[in-house]
């Protein structure tokens, strides 16, 4: 038979064992043990400071909690499913260790505000960790960019060759995505800046507590303003999962390109053997499994987001047991995005780029056609007319299986009197990239500005 619950005074019979198992969250929320203990220590100190419990009892509570934390970290604690969650498990352990003083620890609080403060502290912590992991990834991409300012490759729209760019420029496009992801993690940290502890079950408490003192002890900027919202708010957790979903979407897009680039048809990238796998039947295969698995795991994090949004959408104020379901989604989203950022960073850090294949790719597909139109426009031809002229020129090249660089000057002049010998310099793909000096463009000096701005951004994180 299950032990009597800490909340069991109103009940005349024990909870069914199957209900204990169904109801319990200790299997997953035990990872909040350090946050729960930290919150309880701050609460106990505040209770003593305010004269709500004796100082000696507060000191015993604090010492007992610290000993429990050490034993958990040393693997000496076995959690009890019948105690439901990490909060009740720790309180039960504390009562066993120090007796009556432990029963005073829960004065002026509820599990509702207790779990809210634990989850907020955890969410802030993991948001900061993800920011650090994104910093590592951005640094790797910046280093690739610094070494490839003049590595020419084709840029694409609709997965069709569009215009020549540089590998550095392409990498820095993803850097911008990951910088936005860091800003989203900053927003999570800010969403976790107010402290719900002291809100009670939903309507505050009747004790003369000092929530500002507790907030200061726990590193919050201030207490939450409305107790009812405090215990029913999981926006901060959703903010994290949404931010993680965005990171995964960006990683997945990048992985899709890495997968394409690693094919024989592209041959733009060579993944390190340590971050590739082989085939059980085809000995020649080198598969981009790390990139594929990250792409696949993106849907998993999306599921965490949709599941949590769906769980919250029909809940009346204030706390409801449904909200226990936020933990596994939050934990899974963090575990997944963290491991994916790490693996992707290592994969890119060790990858090699086939500069010749990239340059050859930029020569094909008439990626310099826009530059021919720009050439004519600069000579006074209205751009729309220039566009039509070059379209016909490209058709001529396709029909004759030649590139724009292989068109004779005589043919150019037949098409438009504005063409001259300088057309060949204008359509050199390397020169096409160098001439795109507009702010945000792929010219080496423009990309260097991006790199410098990113380095300043990282200094301010």
Backbone angles phi, psi at 12, to 5 degrees: -105, -5
Give how far Cα 422 sits from Cα of 125, 426, 427, 440, Å. Answer: 59, 6, 9, 26
Which residue out of 40, 106, 279, 387 is catalytically annotated? 279
CA 209 to chain centroid: 37
Which residue out of 40, 58, 87, 158 is catalytically annotated? 158
* Cα 366 to Cα 237: distance, rounded to the nearest angstrom: 48
* Cα 162 to Cα 395: distance, rounded to the nearest angstrom: 16
279 catalytic? Reply is: yes
338 catalytic? Reply is: no
* Cα 341 to Cα 320: distance, rounded to the nearest angstrom: 34
Centre a 10 Å sphere on the Cβ of residue 404 and count the other Cβ atoms it contains: 23
Active site residues: 158, 279
């Amino acid at each position: 038979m299950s032990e009597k619950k800490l909340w069991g005074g109103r009940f005349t019979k024990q909870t069914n064992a199957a209900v204990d198992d169904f109801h319990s969250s200790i299997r997953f929320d035990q990872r909040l043990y350090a946050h729960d203990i930290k919150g309880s220590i701050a609460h106990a100190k505040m209770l003593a400071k305010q004269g709500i419990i004796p100082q000696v009892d507060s000191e015993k509570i604090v010492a007992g909690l610290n000993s429990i934390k050490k034993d958990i970290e040393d693997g000496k604690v076995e959690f009890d499913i019948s105690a439901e969650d990490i909060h009740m498990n720790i309180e039960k352990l504390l009562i066993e260790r120090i007796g009556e003083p432990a029963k005073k620890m829960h004065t002026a609080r509820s599990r509702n505000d207790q779990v809210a403060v634990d989850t907020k502290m955890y969410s802030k912590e993991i948001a900061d960790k993800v920011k650090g992991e994104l910093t590592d990834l951005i640094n790797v991409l910046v280093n690739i960019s610094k070494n490839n300012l003049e590595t020419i490759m084709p840029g694409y729209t609709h997965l069709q060759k569009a215009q020549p760019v540089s590998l550095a420029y392409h990498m820095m496009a993803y850097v911008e995505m990951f910088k936005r992801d860091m800003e989203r993690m900053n927003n999570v940290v800010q969403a976790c800046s107010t402290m719900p502890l002291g809100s009670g079950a939903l309507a505050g408490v009747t004790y003369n507590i000092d929530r500002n003192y507790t907030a200061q002890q726990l590193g919050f900027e201030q207490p939450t303003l409305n107790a009812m919202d405090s215990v029913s708010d999981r926006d901060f957790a959703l903010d994290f999962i949404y931010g993680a979903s965005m990171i995964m979407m960006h990683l997945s897009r990048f992985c899709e390109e890495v997968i394409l680039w690693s094919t024989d048809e592209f041959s733009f990238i060579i993944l390190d053997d340590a971050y590739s796998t082989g085939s059980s039947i085809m000995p020649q295969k080198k598969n981009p499994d790390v990139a594929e698995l990250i792409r696949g795991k993106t849907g998993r994090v999306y599921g965490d987001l949709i599941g949590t949004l769906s769980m919250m959408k029909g809940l009346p104020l204030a706390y409801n047991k449904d909200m226990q379901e936020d933990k596994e989604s939050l934990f899974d989203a963090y575990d997944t995005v963290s491991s994916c950022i790490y693996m992707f960073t290592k994969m890119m850090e060790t990858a090699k780029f086939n500069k010749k294949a990239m340059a050859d790719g930029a020569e094909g597909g008439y990626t310099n056609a826009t530059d021919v139109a720009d050439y004519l426009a600069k000579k006074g031809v209205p751009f729309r007319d220039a566009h039509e002229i070059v379209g016909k020129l490209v058709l001529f090249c396709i029909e004759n299986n030649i590139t724009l660089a292989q068109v004779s000057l005589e043919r150019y002049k037949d098409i438009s009197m504005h063409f001259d010998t300088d057309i060949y310099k204008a359509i050199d793909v390397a020169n096409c990239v160098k001439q795109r000096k507009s702010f945000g463009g792929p010219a080496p000096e423009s990309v260097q500005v991006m790199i410098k701005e990113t380095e300043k951004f990282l200094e301010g994180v």
